[in-house]
């Protein structure tokens, strides 16, 4: 039994796996991370290994001696990955992106894959049918777009995520919702269409905290799985144990 931990920019996700079966999942704030990890380890006493991917503020040293008998595998750029990395600045490539690419390669062999992770940021990652990773794109996620409008203007309010009533907003609030939600939807659809025009034999994978919200609004056919990064963490761990 394995505990997978995804440490993001704003929150932490925990998932318990028995082989490839997801048994339990939860999202926790940074302030409660250690207590929640220990509670999970105590509840699932058969867990012997932890795999961690971090783009946040927690490092490998934070997990040392977390509990007797538990081995911690921290994903780094020096870990084993089942793809050739053509990124021009590999030292700057986030391990979370490397993990989802690993999951795409192992889950969907011999296909071109575009992985879109819609979280704090929206990341796009392209790996071809020969398992060569080429790179992608990074843009602000939904929450960042709402916050930036509030932080960098004098009078625009900070709104909660909401589907706009119409494409043309008839109030300031509705104009913001239209700009944020329609803007990010058109961006994703446009990025997908640009890639599809140049490649065939393609699968589009949408994951991240906003995956379900966005999936029903996109025109292109996608494989939506909010748990794909956690499942990819499990696969990355298994790949490194071989």
Question: Looking at 6, 96, 117, 128, which residue is catalytic?
Answer: 96
Closest to 112 (Cα-Cα) out of 141, 90, 89, 132: 132
Annotated catalytic, 6?
A: no
Per-residue DSSP letters for 177-235? Answer: HIIIIIHHHHHHHHHHHHHHTT--SEEEEEESTTHHHHHTT-SS--EE-TTHHHHHHHH
Identify any residues that bridge with 121 across adjacent strands, giving them in sequence order: 140
Query: Are the CB atoms for 70 and 50 separated by under 8 Å?
Result: yes
Alpha-carbon distance of 113 to 103, in angstroms, equals: 11
Per this entry, what is the length of the chain?
A: 242
Place of tokens 């025009």: 197
Active site members: 96
């Amino acid at each position: 039994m394995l505990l997978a931990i995804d440490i993001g920019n704003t929150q932490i996700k925990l998932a318990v796996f028995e082989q490839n079966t997801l048994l339990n999942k939860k999202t926790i704030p940074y302030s409660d991370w250690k207590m929640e990890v220990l509670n999970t380890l105590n509840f699932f006493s058969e867990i012997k290994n932890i795999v961690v991917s971090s783009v946040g503020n927690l490092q490998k040293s934070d997990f040392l001696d977390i509990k007797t008998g538990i081995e911690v595998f921290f994903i780094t750029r020096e870990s084993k990955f089942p793809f050739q990395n053509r990124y021009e600045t590999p030292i700057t490539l986030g391990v979370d992106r490397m993990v989802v690419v690993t999951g795409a390669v192992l889950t969907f062999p011999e296909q071109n894959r575009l992985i879109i992770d819609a979280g704090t940021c929206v990341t796009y990652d392209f790996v071809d049918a020969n398992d060569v990773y080429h790179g992608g794109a990074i843009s602000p996620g939904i929450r960042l777009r709402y916050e930036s409008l509030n932080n960098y203007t004098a009078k625009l309010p900070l709104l909660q995520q909401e589907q706009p009533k119409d494409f043309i907003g008839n109030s300031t609030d509705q104009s913001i919702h239209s700009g944020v939600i329609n803007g990010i939807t058109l961006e994703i659809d446009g990025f997908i269409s640009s890639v599809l025009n140049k490649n065939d034999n393609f699968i589009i994978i949408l994951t991240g905290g906003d995956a379900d919200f966005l999936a029903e609004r996109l025109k292109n056919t996608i494989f939506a799985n909010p748990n794909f990064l956690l499942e990819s963490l499990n696969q990355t761990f298994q790949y490194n144990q071989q």
